[in-house]
Amino acid sequence: MSTKSDHIPRATIERLSVYLQVLENMQRQGIEVISSGPLAKACDVNASQIRKDLTYFGEFGVRGVGYNVRELIQSISRSLGIDHQWNCVLIGVGNLGKALLSHREFGRRGFNIVGAFDCDPFKIGEEFNGLEVVCTRRLKERVADLNVRIGFLTTPPERAQRAANHLVEAGIKGILNYAPARIFVPAEVHVEYVDFFHHLYSLAFNISVDKT
Amino acid sequence: MSTKSDHIPRATIERLSVYLQVLENMQRQGIEVISSGPLAKACDVNASQIRKDLTYFGEFGVRGVGYNVRELIQSISRSLGIDHQWNCVLIGVGNLGKALLSHREFGRRGFNIVGAFDCDPFKIGEEFNGLEVVCTRRLKERVADLNVRIGFLTTPPERAQRAANHLVEAGIKGILNYAPARIFVPAEVHVEYVDFFHHLYSLAFNISVDKT
């Protein structure tokens, strides 16, 4: 990874995943080259923004021609650290956990869920997508064996902190938290919140404001 | 709704849903009064930020005593427009769609999914959580009948724009888009993206940078 990537602003990182999504859709449609104008339009940002963001990753574009879609996907993927496989575990096998275990898109994008954990004896031994639910007590051993670095947390809110503690103790480096609860972890562990309600509240608020 | 709410910055709205989540957890634990220091700590923001954010919603706190948890929840809920029920529909009944239909938390928080739609004849007529999957052609009629304002979009990416068009045409005011694709809608329709990969990419990026 280039040292340049270390200082990419968070807002740029967020936009990069949008660019990647749009570029992958273009690739599926057979588009090979795209200039910054149409790319910006498809990403719903302005063209100068996209050009600025992409300079963090070196010079991809050819003036007057545009960006090679495949190369740009590869370069962004490499810069984000997603050009290789990531082993992940999931803790909390409720409805949402089961859905994520069945969501083939994670594996397709290199995020392999290689372990599913729950402390409910009625769930242990159940199988989803070829993966057997294992007792949370065995988390640490599995994380070490399988070189797992990311944990999906899908417990109910009241069990989120305990699950987070288990993940941290097992040596996980990043937690994707789907539980509607704040969790506290050491500074060296990264947390991302997937909060459905935060988005619903924004919609409700914006729709309510429109009516006034 | 007070006219004051119209100009609340987006960043504040985002934090309000965190405050609400934390306050609800406190209420479950039987906490009745909280001062801004511990509230800020539990929300992982600084105390001056939380005090500033809450001034948009009037004066809740009593100096030297703190905030009444129940009243603060009610006031934030009212300000966000979530102190009443919202009828929602879901379009795209795949694994994720099914999981969301079974996720009781939406209804508990006043977001009632009252219709599930898909264009796949093998899915039409299936029932999830007491809700029968209906052909997308009937979306408009149901949205009008049931006063639906929010649509959950859970189709594969290549069908997202078509589904969004259906929702717009049916008179939906806000779309919660779980599909990994940008969608384009008229300016008066609000869109929120729930993008799992964006969060995973951030984790991958941050973990990768740590190692360099």
Contact flag B82-A111 (C-beta cutoff 8 Å): no
Could you tell me if B129 lies within 8 Å of chain A, comparing CB atoms? Answer: no
Q: What is the per-residue burial (b if ≥16 Cβ within 10 Å, else e) of A11-38?
A: ebbebbbbbbbbbbbbeeeeeeebebee
Could you tell me if A41 lies within 8 Å of chain B, comparing CB atoms? Answer: no
Contact flag B17-A150 (C-beta cutoff 8 Å): no
Q: Which of A9-13, A126-130, A142-146, B205-209 has the lowest mean pLDDT?
A: A9-13
Could you tell me if B46 lies within 8 Å of chain A, comparing CB atoms? Answer: no
Could you tell me if B182 lies within 8 Å of chain A, comparing CB atoms? Answer: yes
Confidence of residue B57 (pLDDT cuts 50, 70, 90): low
Check residue A4 and give its pLDDT.
46
Residue B187 in contact with residue A3, Cβ under 8 Å? no
Instruction: Tell me how close the Cα of B18 comes to any Cα of chain A, in angstroms.
Output: 8
A chain contacts of residue B184, beta-carbon cutoff 8 Å: 44
DSSP annotation string for chain A: --GGGGG--HHHHHHHHHHHHHHHHHHHTT--EE-HHHHHHHHTS-HHHHHHHHHTT----BTTTBEEHHHHHHHHHHHHT-SS-EEEEEE--SHHHHHHHH-THHHHTTEEEEEEEES-TTTTT-EETTEEEEEGGGHHHHHHHHT--EEEE-S-GGGHHHHHHHHHHTT-SEEEE-SSS-----TTSEEEE--HHHHHHHHHHHHHHHH-
Most distant pair of Cα atoms in chain B: their distance: 62
Tell me the pLDDT tens digit for each residue of B135-173: 999 999 999 999 999 999 999 888 999 999 999 999 999
CA A155 to centroid of chain Cα atoms: 18
* B67: helix, strand or coil: strand
Could you tell me if B207 lies within 8 Å of chain A, comparing CB atoms? Answer: yes
Tell me the pLDDT tens digit for each residue of A40-49: 999 989 989 9
CA distance A112 to B201: 14
Residue A184 in contact with residue A161, Cβ under 8 Å? yes
Instruction: Tell me how close the Cα of B113 comes to any Cα of chain A, in angstroms.
Output: 12
Tell me the pLDDT tens digit for each residue of A130-168: 899 999 999 999 999 999 999 999 998 889 999 999 999
Tell me the pLDDT tens digit for each residue of B79-133: 888 889 999 999 999 988 998 898 888 888 899 999 999 999 999 999 988 899 9
CA distance A197 to A147: 32
How far apart, in Å, do the first and last CA atoms of chain A sit?
A: 50
> A–B: how many Cβ contacts below 8 A?
199
Residues 69-128, chain B, touching A (beta carbon < 8 A) = 79-82, 86, 95-96, 98-100, 102-103, 105-106, 109, 111
Closest chain B residue to A206 measured between Cα atoms?
B190
Contact flag B204-A95 (C-beta cutoff 8 Å): no
Residue A139 in contact with residue A116, Cβ under 8 Å? no
Query: Between B143 and B7, whose confidence is greater?
Result: B143
Q: Least CB-CB distance to B197: which of A17, A99, A180?
A: A17
Tell me the pLDDT tens digit for each residue of A78-124: 888 888 999 999 999 998 899 889 888 888 889 999 999 999 999 99
**pLDDT reading at B2 higher than 60:** no
